[in-house]
């Protein structure tokens, strides 16, 4: 059986890390695409030369022409611009929307059967626009944010409780941004909900709230430290987990920005919800009952995403 083909649209900081991780995990051959001449070619060559040392077999190439992504099984999209200190994700909308239009056309022409994972910000609006611009099936176009947001929550909780990150699960709903909704009663240490751990004296309610807030601000904390761009190691690892679940039909249950068809009372929009990812793409959206305060937070997050979608329609009326 031929190796899978993974196309990375955007070969910047996340794109380069994606190529490295996909190769190390032998998920398939990797084509890196970018408008910057030489960048995808140089990174592909560099990573391919780590193959003999690491012991992986993957063919890597770089291109500035969409024809190179022909027949890709998975496309991971990071094309666009990242945040700088002082910018919100929403400030990127105008520039990145135009980029999504080009990327959508390229994928529609050369990789219409691919599973497409969008990472470009502002995530929930960009993945919605990318699906419309590309015309690919809604179950095959998904946004990465929840895996990263819950990984951040898990890392902070594991550090706080001095337990392995492997034993901490976290549940995050809603849009990727300041309004994301980490659900403490569905987040656990070895199956014990955080709400019970507070009762057991592991930490105070106030301390837990601080960790939740740090999770919401997790991206900005890194932007403030890096100064020249945003996070890339953990975002890349998160998207690779989603790609792997699709390619190996693992049916992982992962929080993703998925197209909703009535779930949570919402239609024709993308927002972060728990999903099953398998060979058919998003195979199921899991709908849970929300308590009234969680519902209020989720609705706030949804209305922030809707605001961004309206801003997209103003720039590109054909998205309506």
Which residues fall in the annotated binding site for substrate?
A: 83, 89, 121, 152
Strands 168-169 and 172-173: unpaired
Does position 83 interact with ligand A3D (CB under 6 A)? The reply is: yes
CA 77 to chain centre: 9
59 belongs to the catalytic site: no
Does position 72 interact with ligand A3D (CB under 6 A)? The reply is: no
The binding track of 225-264 with respect to ligand A3D, each residue x by CB under 6 A or -, is: ----xxxx--x-----------------------------
CA–CA separation, 48 vs 42, rounded Å?
10
Bond preceding residue 253 cis, omega within 30 of 0: no
CA distance readout (Å), 133 to 48, 98, 237: 33, 10, 26
Closer to ligand A3D at the Cβ: 16 or 28?
16
Does position 272 interact with ligand A3D (CB under 6 A)? The reply is: no
Residue 307: phi and psi, rounded to 5, are -60, -40
Does position 315 interact with ligand A3D (CB under 6 A)? The reply is: no
Closer to ligand A3D at the Cβ: 35 or 190?
35
Q: Smallest Cα–Cα separation from 277: which of 256, 252, 243?
A: 252
User: Which residues does the annotation place in the binding site?
Assistant: 10-15, 34, 83, 89, 96, 119-121, 152
Does position 119 interact with ligand A3D (CB under 6 A)? The reply is: yes
Strands 252-261 and 60-63: unpaired
Does position 43 interact with ligand A3D (CB under 6 A)? The reply is: no
**In the complex, what is the shortest distance from the CB of residue 26 to ligand A3D, in angstroms, rounded to a whole number?**
23
Closer to ligand A3D at the Cβ: 28 or 82?
82
Counting other chains too, the contacts that 244-249 makes at CB distance below 8 Å and 24 or more residues apart are 244/25, 244/27, 245/277, 245/278, 246/74, 246/115, 246/277, 246/278, 246/279, 246/281, 247/4, 247/27, 247/28, 247/73, 247/74, 249/278, 249/279
Q: Which of 66, 176, 269, 275 is catalytic?
A: 176
For ligand A3D, the binding residue among 82, 175, 177, 272 (CB under 6 A) is: 82
- Residue position matching structure tokens 């070969």: 11
**Interface with ligand A3D: number of residues (CB under 6 A):** 34
Does position 99 interact with ligand A3D (CB under 6 A)? The reply is: yes
∠ Cα 95 99 100 (to 5°): 115
Stretch that binds ligand A3D, among 31-39, 185-193, 276-284, 290-298 (CB under 6 A): 31-39
User: Which residues does the annotation place in the binding site for NAD(+)?
Assistant: 10-15, 34, 96, 119-121
For ligand A3D, the binding residue among 21, 32, 79, 114 (CB under 6 A) is: 79
CA distance readout (Å), 29 to 1, 6, 43: 13, 6, 14
Evaluate whether 103 touches 78 at the Cβ level (below 8 Å). Answer: no
- Give the catalytic positions in this structure: 176
For ligand A3D, the binding residues (CB under 6 A) are 9-15, 34-36, 39, 78-83, 92, 96, 99, 102, 119-121, 123, 144-145, 148, 176, 229-232, 235
């Amino acid at each position: 059986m031929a190796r899978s083909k993974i196309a990375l649209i955007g070969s910047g900081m996340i794109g380069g890390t994606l190529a490295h991780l996909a190769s190390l995990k032998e998920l398939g051959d990797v084509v890196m695409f970018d408008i910057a001449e030489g960048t995808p070619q140089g990174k592909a060559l560099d990573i391919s030369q780590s193959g003999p040392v690491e012991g992986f077999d993957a063919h890597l190439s770089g291109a500035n022409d969409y024809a190179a992504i022909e027949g890709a099984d998975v496309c991971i999209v990071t094309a666009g611009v990242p945040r700088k200190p002082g910018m919100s994700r929403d400030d990127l909308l105008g520039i990145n929307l135009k980029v999504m239009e080009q990327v959508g056309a390229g994928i529609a022409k050369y990789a219409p059967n691919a599973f497409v994972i969008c990472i470009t910000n502002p995530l929930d609006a960009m993945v919605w626009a990318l699906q419309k611009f590309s015309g690919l099936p809604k179950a095959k176009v998904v946004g990465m944010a929840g895996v990263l947001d819950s990984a951040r929550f898990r890392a902070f909780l594991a550090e706080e409780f001095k337990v392995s990150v492997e034993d901490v699960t976290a549940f995050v709903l809603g849009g990727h941004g300041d309004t994301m909704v980490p659900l403490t009663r569905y987040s656990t240490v070895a199956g014990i909900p955080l709400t019970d751990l507070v009762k057991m004296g592991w930490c105070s309610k106030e301390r837990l709230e601080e960790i939740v807030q740090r999770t919401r601000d997790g991206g900005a904390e890194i932007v403030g430290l890096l100064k020249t761009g945003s996070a890339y190691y953990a975002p890349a690892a998160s998207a690779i987990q989603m790609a792997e679940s699709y390619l190996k039909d693992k049916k992982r249950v992962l929080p993703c920005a998925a197209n909703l068809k009535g779930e949570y009372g919402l239609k024709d929009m993308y927002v972060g919800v728990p999903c099953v990812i398998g060979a058919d793409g998003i195979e199921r959206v899991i709908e849970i009952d929300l308590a009234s305060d969680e519902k209020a937070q989720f609705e706030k997050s949804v209305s922030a995403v809707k605001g961004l979608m309206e801003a997209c329609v103003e720039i590109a009326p054909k998205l309506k």
